[in-house]
Amino acid sequence: MKLITQEIEQSIPALYSTENVPTEEKVAAVKFFTPDAQWSWFAVEGEKQEDGDWLFFGYVVGHESEWGYFTLAQLLDVRGALGLPIERDLYFDGEIPI
């Protein structure tokens, strides 16, 4: 599965563009998740970097839940308990479970 589509590339807000939006009003452009480890990454902002990787800012739900930065390369390296790769939630509605 392709984690970043052209539609996502064109629609995700640039880094820092939502910093004045209250936390409870932020909307994620895309949700990534591990199908076998119960981790989720909600990307609110993102930009393609000079090296071709993507840098995202968003909400991460795992052992702890926190706001932070993560890259597409990091997501591509992650494997869950059964060795399954990260997937993109095709039916995600933008709501962040804060």
For residue range 48-92, list pLDDT tens digits in order: 999 999 999 999 999 999 999 999 999 999 998 899 999 999 999
Q: How confident is the model at residue 1, as a pLDDT?
A: 78
Query: Which pLDDT does position 22 carry in this prediction?
Result: 96
When divided into structural domains, the chain yields a total of 1
Residue 98 lies in a domain: no
pTM of the predicted model as reported, rounded to 2 decimal places:
0.95
Cβ atoms 84, 75 nearer than 8 A: no
Does residue 71 belong to any structural domain of this protein?
A: yes
C-alpha 44/C-alpha 16 separation (Å) is 10
Residues 27-32: what's their mean pLDDT?
A: 97
The enclosing H or E element of 73 equals helix 72-77
In this structure, what DSSP letter does residue 24 have?
G
Domain membership of residue 30 as a residue range? 6-15+26-88
Establish if 97 belongs to a structural domain.
no
Residue type, 80: G
Identify the pLDDT of residue 65. Answer: 97
Condensed to tens digits (0 to 9), the pLDDT of residues 3-12 reads 999 999 999 9
